[in-house]
Amino acid sequence: MEKLKVILIDDETLIRKLLRMKIDWEELGMEIITEFSSARKALEEVQKWDPDIIITDICMPGMDGIAFSEECINLMPKVKIIILTGHDEFNYAMKSIKIGVSDYILKPIKAEVIAQTLWKTREKIEKEKNYQVEYEKLAAQIEENLPLFQESYLNQVLLESVTSEVFCRKMRFYQVDLHPTSQEVQIAVLEMMYANKENRSNEEDQNEMILHIKARKLTEEFFAGDAYVLFCKDGFGRIVILSNNPQVPLNDCLELLRKMLITRLKCYINIGMSSKKVGYSQITTAYKEAVEALNYKVVEGKNCVICYEDLANTVGSLSVEEEKLWKEVKIYVSAGRREQAESCAQVLWESASREGYKNGYKLRNLFIEIVSWCFNEAVKNEFSNQKEYQQRLTKVNERSSGFVALEKYMLECIGMLTTEMAAKDEKKNGSMIQDILVYIEKNLSNPDLSMNQVAEQFYISAGYLGRLLKKKTGKTYGEYLSELRFKKAKELLEATDLKGYEIGEEIGISDPHYLSIWFKKMSGYSLSEFKRQNEVQKMKV
């Protein structure tokens, strides 16, 4: 580290000479670059000298050291100022700490004290400079990687909605411009594939990665002249286009983009496009619409742009009763109740078949909606059998897939997902009930260990806790707690000389009278009788 630059300020020449002579400045890695007898004169020239450290007397004519320090720190916030003060000025000097003075030294001046103070100040400066260097490196890395952070954040927002305020703040941090007056958003999801995806080699997989890179580059170049259009890659490697520009006719642009990519890259292109949404909090909804539209490629065929709004107009609405059935299917699936989920889905399918769906197209759309939902839930929950849903989704476009076959595939998807949900719930509940049992045992001495108290500890209802405990132990909460306390009481009676009231405190029954009644009821013996019985048994052994 370079030598630190020091300025001395004192109206007494002798003090300045003593400071020069008594301190080994070379050893400290410092040099005195100038000195002043007047604080006011020093303040006029201090920025020109750009010192690291200033040593100043507190009491000087014209401008004292406190006033100088305050104005100097305003001019040069990083400079370290050390005040020289006498005992009678000590309380006054303490005020200097509040304005940012680094340290103070009491007169009479002692060389070792000054050297220690200067060394401590040097360490502080080095630490700050190292911190600044690291901060600048980190800032440079952040600046360099801003596009990656931006893309990662956009990918997150596609799946988890945020408020418009949070989105705007994040985009400002990532130095991304949003439309100054409009929060209208529209999303497109672009998927590419080669003609033959079967029996692919590693080289072909590598070529497909190159295909995606080229498509992304061409897509960004295509929209280069349009402001407020953002890009990212979703979890499936698909290109996501987010338009925040109401003047961009996204549908027309996507048709041109599709033709250009097919011509340039010689591959299949499918694009799903959402309806227009107002508010950045609707980005997640828009993405879901775009994905849902994209899933209809199995009906529309390859190389097409599918608009969610057009899709909504052609699918046909479910009746009120059918909407209710569809919601019930989702509830049963989420709860892991396979039999009810499949039964309800079957009733929905039969109802849809009766209510004008027999023209085929609309019934196939219902199949796509159900299986797509299953697929999306599998993705969201990170289940391993996601491809199985996709495989069944493709069945909708096969000639051999009649309504009976589609119903079978649909029920298979419902069954698979419900089983996965049940397994996940079982694993989660198994872990939770184990934690609950450990908590109860560890807190057995708490006389207020009620079911409500334990339930609150784990953020669940008392009723749910009771059901979990019954399923795991076959006992109610009261029965389980009482047996656990009885077991602990017996262990203490057999292994310790604790008195009855002490045992009661250990198992959470602080009333000795109630303890006696309770123990007699549980064992048929009083505490003393049980202890004698145990001692007799030991003697026999």
Q: Cα 390–393–398 angle (5° rounding)?
A: 125
pLDDT at position 164, please? 93
- In this structure, is the dihedral angle defined by the CA atoms of residues 334, 335, 336 and 339, taken in order, positive or negative? negative
Judge whether residue 201 has pLDDT over 60: no
pLDDT of residue 200: 47
Q: Is the pLDDT of residue 180 over 50?
A: yes
Residue 125's CB: how many other CB atoms inside 10 A?
18
Band of pLDDT at residue 199, cut at 50, 70 and 90: very low
Phi, psi dihedral angles at 325 (to 5 degrees): -65, -40
Spatial contact of 107 and 72, defined as CB atoms under 8 Å apart: no
**116: which 2 tokens?**
């220690």
Residue type, 151: E
Show Cβ contacts of residue 2 under 8 Å, excluding neighbours closer than 6 positions: none
In this prediction, residues 165-177 reach a mean pLDDT of: 90
Per-residue b or e along 252-277, where b marks 16 or more CB atoms closer than 10 Å to that residue's CB? ebbeebbeebeeebebbbbbbbbbeb
Mean pLDDT of 445-465: 85
Give the model's confidence band at 377: pLDDT under 50 very low, under 70 low, under 90 confident, else very high.
Answer: confident
Residue type, 499: K
Tell me the average pLDDT of the chain.
84
From residue 174, give the alpha-carbon distance in Å to each of 38, 178, 187: 49, 11, 20
* Mean pLDDT (whole number) for 236-245: 91
| pLDDT 10s digits, 31-89 | 999 999 999 999 999 999 999 999 998 888 888 888 898 899 999 988 999 988 876 66
* Cα 58 to Cα 81: distance, rounded to the nearest angstrom: 11
Give, in degrees to the nearest 5, the angle at Cα 160 between 156 and 163.
Answer: 105
Residue 143 makes CB contacts below 8 A (sequence gap 6+) with: none
Q: How far apart are CA 458 and CA 241, in angstroms?
A: 42
Sign of CA pseudo-dihedral 92, 95, 101, 103: positive
What percentage of the chain reaches a pLDDT higher than 70? 89
CA dihedral of residues 156, 160, 161, 163 (deg, nearest 10): -70
Contact status, residue 273 vs residue 254, Cβ threshold 8 Å: yes
Whether 383 has a pLDDT exceeding 50, the answer reads: yes
Q: Letter for the amino acid at 266?
A: K
For residue 441 the two structure tokens come to 């045992």
Which residue would you say has higher pLDDT here, 538 or 322? 322
Interatomic CA distance for residues 451 and 466, integer angstroms: 8
pLDDT of residue 360: 57
pLDDT for 223: 92
Distance, in Å, from the CA atom of 85 to the CA atom of 106, rounded to the nearest integer, reads 5
Strand partners, 539: none
Helix (H) or strand (E) holding 84: strand 80-85
> Residue 1 has what pLDDT?
63
Higher local confidence (pLDDT), 531 or 195:
531
User: What's the confidence (pLDDT) of residue 426?
Assistant: 74
In the block, tokens 């505490």 appear at 527
The count of residues in the chain is: 541
What does the pLDDT look like over 281-302, one tens digit per residue? 999 999 988 988 887 765 556 7
Q: How many other C-beta atoms are found inside a 10 Å radius of the C-beta of residue 443?
A: 14
Backbone angles phi, psi at 103, to 5 degrees: -165, 175
Residue 93 scores a pLDDT above 70: no
User: For the segment 472-531, what is each residue's pLDDT rounded down to a tens digit?
Assistant: 888 898 888 999 998 998 888 888 888 888 888 889 888 888 888 888 888 888 888 888
Query: How far is Cα 446 from Cα 467, in angstroms, rounded to an integer?
Result: 23
Q: Would you place residue 398 in the very low, low, confident or very high pLDDT band (cuts 50, 70, 90)? A: low
Please tell me the distance from the alpha carbon of residue 277 to that of residue 274, in angstroms, as a whole number: 8
Highest mean pLDDT among 60-64, 179-183, 191-195: 179-183
pLDDT band at 203 (very low <50, low <70, confident <90, very high): low
The whole-angstrom separation of Cα 142 and Cα 66 is 40
pLDDT tens digits for range 111-154:
888 999 999 999 998 888 888 888 778 777 777 777 888 888 99
Q: Cis omega (within 30 of 0) on the bond before 147?
A: no
Instruction: Return the residue matching tokens 């009766």.
Output: 354
pTM listed for this prediction:
0.46
Non-local (6+) Cβ contacts of 156 within 8 A are none
The closest of 65, 63, 33, 37 to 49, measured between CA atoms, is 33
Phi, psi of 189 (to 5 degrees): -115, 125
**Local structure of 329: helix, strand or coil:** helix
More confident call, 401 vs 101? 101
Q: What is the pLDDT of residue 198?
A: 46
Q: Find, among 371, 368, 369, 387, the residue nearest to 236 by Cα.
A: 387
Cα–Cα dist 465/454, whole Å:
8
Q: Are 241 and 185 in contact (CB under 8 A)?
A: no
Token look-up 């941090």 returns 173
Model pLDDT, residue 317: 61
Residue 358, pLDDT score: 47
Give the whole-angstrom CA distance, residue 113 versus residue 240: 66
Three-state DSSP state, 502? helix
DSSP helix/strand/coil, 478: helix
